[in-house]
Amino acid sequence: MSKKVAIYPGTFDPITNGHLDLVARAEQIFDEVIIAVSDNPRKNPLFSTQERIDLVDEATQHIPHVRVESFDDLLVNFVARKNAKFVIRGLRAVSDFEYEFQLASANRRLDNNVETIFLTPLEANYFISSSLVREISYYEGDITSFAPAHVVTALQQKWTETKG
């Protein structure tokens, strides 16, 4: 029997407690979860790809059967290279569904072997997004309940560098 490998793709700029909630849930379902950090410069991320990989790697050290990699092409191509079949996507609210359904449909059209699995976070994490965490931290708001401590520190350092 082959291993059930799932890919959890995203920008993770930065990783949040909501992301970690989904990783922990996925790890209970699949034999291996690969967190695929998108190297897409069109998204104009705050952190470099390597910085995001390092932040995700540190945040997931305690979760078994999880590894972190980056990709810079179509998700379905990455999924095929990793001999995976499943893509994990998070749904926070009904507003996420239409966009996520569109992505899942496009991925299935590109490769009908790819199955998208939607997971929902704990209610406490429904509203957390990377962009919200970045925005609050930019204005020096308290994000300690939204992201791991090392991410909070990395954001503070990044804003200090960019604000000069």
Q: Produce one character per residue of 27-65: b if its CB has 16 or more CB atoms within 10 Å, e if not.
A: beebebbbbbbbbeeeeebbbebebbbbbbbbbbeeeee
Rounded Cα distance between 131 and 102, Å, is 21
Residues with a catalytic annotation lie at 19, 43, 92, 130
Read off the tokens for 90: 């998070």
Rounded Cα distance between 143 and 135, Å, is 10
